[in-house]
Amino acid sequence: MSGIKDKVVVITGASSGIGEATALLIAERGAKVVLGARGPDRLEALAARIAASGGEAAYVRTDVKRREDVCNLVGLAIERYRKLDVLVNNAGVAPISLLDELRVDDWEEMIDVNLKGVLYGIAAALPVFRRQRFGHFVNVISTAGIQIIPTMAVYAGTKNAVRTITETLRQEAGDKLRVTSVSPGFVQTNLANSMTNPGGKAQIVERMEKMGFRRRRSLVLLRSPSSSRRKLM
């Protein structure tokens, strides 16, 4: 975390879970955080909490399914702080189910949030990073894309797609930009709230309780040094 002071960090999915914990930790270390999520009330409360602790935060309601929203989030960072150091593509949903259930709306939601949301983040931040000649992408993926199990077909598919995109971005980034991928296992977050299958949701919640790291502990994944030639897995 050395060198984080005064860095400008945009975080999607910032109102809960890993995004919220990341914002609190790096704001505590002196970063200026720009928060995006779909829940404005939670964003406002988080920004107030950061400010009350002496940190600095800006926020705007952001649905990563909307490219305009993601552009506005990055634009807020530039307008407020005149630069962008880091974009954390963290927003994600996981309404998992067996393919036989044909929950096509859930499939589309995962593709729109988990995959297209990351691409919209890249599209918003990459021109800024190129113009500045510095910048760092951090894409939060999942171990679900590494070990494939039933019910995870579409969710893991989106995560593996992001893994491929992240690796390509790393290779194309050149020596001025940095690209990091983080693949957490079970973390005790609100991710299960996005699940529409009651049985699958109950199983995931139970496994989170047994196996999941608390959000604050999960942030050790983000403390290790990284570079444009290294991934954190």
Residue 212 domain flag: yes
Residue 3 domain flag: no
Indicate which CATH number applies to the domain containing 203: 3.40.50.720
Q: What is the pLDDT of residue 213?
A: 46
Q: What is the pLDDT of residue 36?
A: 98
Give tens-digit pLDDT for 118-167: 999 999 999 999 999 999 999 999 998 888 899 999 999 999 999 999 99
HSE-up of residue 87 (Cα within 13 Å, Cβ side): 31
More confident residue, 175 or 220: 175
Residue 160 domain flag: yes
Confidence of residue 217 (pLDDT cuts 50, 70, 90): very low
Confidence of residue 3 (pLDDT cuts 50, 70, 90): confident
Of 59, 81, 120, 155, the catalytic one is 155
Question: Would you say residue 221 has pLDDT above 60?
Answer: no
Residue 227 domain flag: no
Residue 22 domain flag: yes
The whole-angstrom separation of Cα 60 and Cα 38 is 9
Residue 40 domain flag: yes
Q: What is the pLDDT of residue 228?
A: 38
The whole-angstrom separation of Cα 30 and Cα 27 is 5
Q: 116, 65 in Cβ contact below 8 A? A: yes
Give tens-digit pLDDT for 69-126: 999 999 999 999 999 999 999 999 999 999 999 999 999 999 999 999 999 999 999 9
Question: Would you say residue 220 has pLDDT above 60?
Answer: no
Confidence of residue 205 (pLDDT cuts 50, 70, 90): low
Q: What is the pLDDT of residue 232?
A: 27
- Which residues 6+ apart lie within 8 Å of 143 measured at CB? 183, 184, 185
What is the pLDDT of the chain when averaged over all its residues? 86
More confident residue, 201 or 100: 100
How many domains are contained in the chain? Answer: 1
Residue 141 domain flag: yes
**In the chain, what is the straight-line distance between the N-terminal and C-terminal CA atoms, in Å?**
18
Q: Which domain holds residue 19?
A: 8-222
The whole-angstrom separation of Cα 191 and Cα 194 is 6
Give tens-digit pLDDT for 16-49: 999 999 999 999 999 999 999 999 999 999 999 9
SS3 94: coil
Question: Would you say residue 1 has pLDDT above 90?
Answer: no
Residue 102 domain flag: yes
Q: What is the pLDDT of residue 177?
A: 98
Catalytic site residue 81?
no
